[in-house]
């Protein structure tokens, strides 16, 4: 019997626009932003801030150093100094839309199941998500989930199997009573490797019908 539902954020709850994020970081002087960033995984400082290896302040410092090194914008100047707000502006380029219908589906599911978030994310995205700016009706992301599990807080990163084990341990969930919903095949495979049921959904697609059908078949 399914008791717990764990959702990814980007591409599942919110729709994404990676090209806008790439463009914004390029405007900050990160000329190889497209190579360092990706829909399903980051590299370099972008990975480090999402797996908790560095904090937001260090990310801003290293972002500025990279901009000085990579961009001709600062050839005749000292290194730029980027604020939390400037870095956040670039990260939020990823966010295309927060569909209200999906949020309402989460609220309906919360009435019957433990509904949690597990996302590869960072302090810049979560500062926005955990504020009233997240949804069109003024609620933070915490309104729609019982618990939020974030990669940088767990100091881990999908698709590592250990991040799912940490969630099971901290939540007390039984793997066989849990479904993980994600748009990344490797993330689903990793969750299933620790006994969690996986539901792979197309990026930015509605998932409610598929999820309810899966639950019905398992009951």
**pLDDT, position 68:** 76
Is residue 45 within 8 Å of residue 63, measured between CB atoms?
A: yes
**pLDDT, position 71:** 56
Q: Which residues of the chain have pLDDT under 50?
A: 75
DSSP percent split of the chain into helix, strand, coil, nearest 5: 50, 15, 35
Name the residues annotated as catalytic: 8
Q: Pick one of 1.10.1060.10, 3.40.1180.10, 3.30.70.260, 3.40.50.1000 as the CATH number of 4-15+98-218.
A: 3.40.50.1000
Q: Locate the domains of the chain by residue range.
A: 4-15+98-218, 18-94
- Write out 124-184 in H/E/C secondary structure: HHHHHHCCCCCCCCCCCHHHCCCEEEEHHHHCCCCCCHHHHHHHHHHHCCCHHHEEEEECC
**pLDDT, position 67:** 87
Secondary structure (3-state) at 96: strand
**pLDDT, position 219:** 82
**pLDDT, position 195:** 98
Side-chain half-sphere of 153: how many Cα atoms within 13 Å? Answer: 15
**pLDDT, position 63:** 94
- CA nearest to 75, candidates 87, 67, 83: 67
Fold of 18-94: DNA polymerase; domain 1 (1.10.150)
**pLDDT, position 149:** 98
**pLDDT, position 81:** 81
**pLDDT, position 40:** 56
CA-CA distance, 181 to 94, in Å (whole number)? 20
Residue 172, C-beta contacts closer than 8 angstroms, at least 6 positions apart: none
């Amino acid at each position: 019997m399914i008791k717990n539902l764990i959702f990814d954020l980007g591409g599942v709850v919110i729709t994404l626009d990676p090209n806008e994020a790439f463009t914004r970081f390029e405007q900050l002087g990160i000329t190889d932003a497209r190579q360092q960033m990706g829909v399903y995984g980051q590299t370099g400082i972008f990975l480090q801030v999402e797996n908790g290896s560095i904090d937001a302040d260090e990310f801003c410092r290293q972002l500025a150093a990279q901009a000085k090194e990579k961009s001709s914008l600062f050839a005749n100047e000292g290194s730029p100094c980027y604020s939390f707000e400037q870095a956040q502006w670039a990260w939020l380029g990823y966010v295309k839309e927060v569909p209200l219908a999906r949020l309402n589906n989460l609220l309906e599911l919360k009435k019957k199941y433990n509904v949690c978030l597990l996302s590869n994310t960072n302090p810049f995205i979560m500062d926005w998500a955990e504020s009233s700016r997240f949804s069109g009706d003024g609620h933070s992301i915490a309104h729609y989930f019982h618990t939020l599990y974030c990669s940088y807080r767990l100091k881990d990163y999908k698709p590592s199997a250990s991040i799912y084990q940490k969630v099971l341990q901290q939540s007390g969930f039984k793997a066989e009573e849990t479904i993980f919903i994600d748009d990344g095949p490797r993330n689903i495979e990793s969750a299933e490797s620790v006994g969690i049921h996986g539901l792979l959904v197309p990026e930015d697609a509605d998932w409610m019908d598929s999820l309810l059908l899966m639950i019905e078949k398992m009951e």
